[in-house]
């Protein structure tokens, strides 16, 4: 249950509480939440639809979490990614990493987001005043994922 792909919204505080329930060994919790912005690449965005590849998506996210756990000494991870149609200010993705110390929790959380952005099969389509358009992948996302390969 460390990974979920769902239409429903999520409650960040409740997810953190569930991950920490009964534990007294966690000293550091890093989280990342991605939200729908009302502007992207210079156009207004009034809705966004997230398509995914059922089955592969969950497997890719589990694999990213396993890589993070192999690489850093962390205690627990939760990843939730929404699909379907979302409005500005809606939550899209949540990553929570619990660890003993902050350096590892931060690094693993950022690593998971960077890999998710390039390895997990989700695609965004934005509705703008100029019509509907598929979001282009950013080169900056590739380079963000790439830097983890250099022993960082």
Residues forming contacts to other proteins in the complex (CB under 8 A) are: 34, 50-53, 55-56, 59-60, 81, 92-93, 102, 113, 116-125, 134-138
Query: Least distance from C-beta 103 to other proteins, angstroms?
Result: 12
Pairing of strands 28-35, 131-134: unpaired
Rounded to the nearest 5°, which phi and psi values hold at 122? -120, 145
When the beta carbons of 44 and 59 are compared against its own copies, the nearer one is 44
Residue 144 half-sphere exposure toward CB, CA atoms < 13 A: 17
Best CA proximity match to 60, nearest among 141, 114, 132, 116: 116
When the beta carbons of 52 and 117 are compared against its own copies, the nearer one is 117
Residues 9-48 that bind its own copies (CB under 8 A): 11-14, 16, 20, 23-39
When the beta carbons of 12 and 56 are compared against its own copies, the nearer one is 12
150 touches its own copies (CB under 8 A): no
Helix (H) / strand (E) element for 104: namely: helix 102-119
When the beta carbons of 13 and 131 are compared against its own copies, the nearer one is 13
Label residue 41 left, alpha or beta by phi (over 0 means left) and psi (-120 to 50 means alpha).
left
d(CA 57, CA 98): 23
- Footprint of its own copies (CB under 8 A): 11-14, 16, 20, 23-39, 88-89, 100, 102-103, 105-106, 109-110, 113, 140, 144
């Amino acid at each position: 249950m460390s990974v979920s792909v769902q239409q429903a919204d999520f409650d960040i505080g409740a997810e953190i509480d569930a991950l920490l329930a009964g534990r007294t060994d966690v000293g550091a919790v890093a989280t990342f939440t991605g939200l729908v912005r009302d502007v992207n690449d210079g156009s207004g965005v009034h809705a966004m639809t997230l398509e995914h590849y059922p089955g592969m998506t969950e497997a890719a996210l589990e694999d990213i979490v396993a890589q993070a756990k192999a690489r850093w000494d962390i205690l627990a991870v939760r990843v939730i990614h929404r699909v379907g149609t979302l409005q500005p200010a809606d939550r899209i993705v949540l990553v929570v990493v619990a660890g003993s110390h902050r350096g590892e929790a931060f690094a693993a959380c950022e690593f998971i987001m960077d890999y998710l952005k390039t390895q997990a099969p989700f695609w965004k389509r934005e509705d703008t005043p100029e019509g509907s358009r598929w979001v282009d992948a950013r080169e900056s996302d590739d380079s963000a994922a790439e830097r983890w390969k250099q022993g960082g």
